[in-house]
Amino acid sequence: MKIKLFKKGDLFVIAAVIAAALAFYFIGRGGSTKPVAEISVDGVTVQTVDLSSVTGRVEITPNDEYNILIVAENGTIRFEHSDCEDKLCVSSGTLSESGDIAVCLPAKTVISVTGSELDAVVY
């Protein structure tokens, strides 16, 4: 007695599942873009930085009223120095993923990162 491992219908279902998995894989890969940091002062964008193209240290001073130093290097951006009293912007750390944001309220300066591939984690 001969036992068949798969029927014709089973092979069709397996092929459909593999095709769907490949489609989701290639669609998911096509949606990624490069991370871009937008620096805005008082609601006006003053500079954008493509974080994927930054190789060395780039220093940015976007605000004349406060002595603020923003540093972009190795695919990240951060507040390095600020004359504000609480220094919360400096302690916010480095930004590199889409959705990351750091704000210096007294200087009305915002750094926000957009454009990188989103994952399952939502902030």
Could you please report the per-residue DSSP string of 87-116? Answer: -TTGGG--B-STT-EEEETTTTEEEEEESS
Does residue 93 fall inside a structural domain?
yes
84 touches 107 (CB < 8 A) = yes
**Total structural domains in the chain?**
1
Q: Which domain holds residue 74?
A: 36-114
Q: DSSP 3-state assignment of 51?
A: helix
pLDDT, mean over the chain: 83
**Would you place residue 123 in the very low, low, confident or very high pLDDT band (cuts 50, 70, 90)?**
very low
Burial of 63 from C-beta contacts in 10 A (0-12 / 13-18 / 19+): buried
Q: Is the pLDDT of residue 116 over 60?
A: no
Does residue 123 fall inside a structural domain?
no
Does residue 19 fall inside a structural domain?
no
Q: Residues 6 or more apart from 77 whose CB is under 8 A from it?
A: 37, 49, 51, 70, 71, 94, 95, 96, 111, 113
pLDDT tens digits along 51-98 = 888 888 999 998 778 889 999 998 899 999 988 888 898 999 999 888
Kindly report the CATH number assigned to the domain that includes residue 41. 2.60.320.10
Does residue 28 fall inside a structural domain?
no
Does residue 86 fall inside a structural domain?
yes
Q: Which residues of 95-115 are buried (b: 16+ CB within 10 A; e: fewer)?
A: bbebebebebebbebbbbbeb
pTM equals 0.67
